[in-house]
């Protein structure tokens, strides 16, 4: 059964991706990137992770962590650019004296 989980835990997300899930969406909340991860058996794999019974190939885990870190930084850059466009600094209308 296809199901989805939302998490900000990069290790949890990497484990789920190693189990065959995929990132279907990301969004930022309170300057934190949340991953929406979906796939077959995600709930069961998540249960194993939370119970400390997760087993994974360490090389695959490292590569997946790097992928998720890249997604985090890309998403935060996008968010910062969007924020900068909508929140411009205020300038006073009175001219400054030039010396």
Closest CA to 34 of 83, 82, 73, 72: 72
Pairing of strands 32-40, 22-29: antiparallel
Residues 48-66 have pLDDT tens digits of 999 999 999 999 999 999 9
Closest CA to 19 of 33, 30, 3, 34: 3
Residues 23-39 have pLDDT tens digits of 999 999 888 999 999 99
pLDDT score of 89 more than 70: no
Residue 21 to residue 14: CA distance in whole angstroms: 9
**pTM of the shown model:** 0.79
Residue 95 to residue 10: CA distance in whole angstroms: 49
């Amino acid at each position: 059964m296809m199901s989805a989980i939302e998490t900000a835990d990069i290790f949890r997300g990497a484990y789920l991706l190693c189990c065959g899930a995929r990132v279907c969406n990301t969004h930022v909340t309170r300057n934190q990137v949340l991953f929406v991860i979906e796939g077959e058996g995600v709930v069961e794999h998540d249960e194993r992770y939370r119970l400390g019974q997760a087993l994974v190939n360490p090389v695959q885990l490292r590569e997946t962590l790097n992928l998720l870190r890249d997604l985090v930084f890309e998403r935060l850059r996008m968010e910062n650019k969007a924020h900068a466009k909508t929140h411009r600094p205020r300038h006073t209308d009175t001219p400054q004296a030039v010396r």
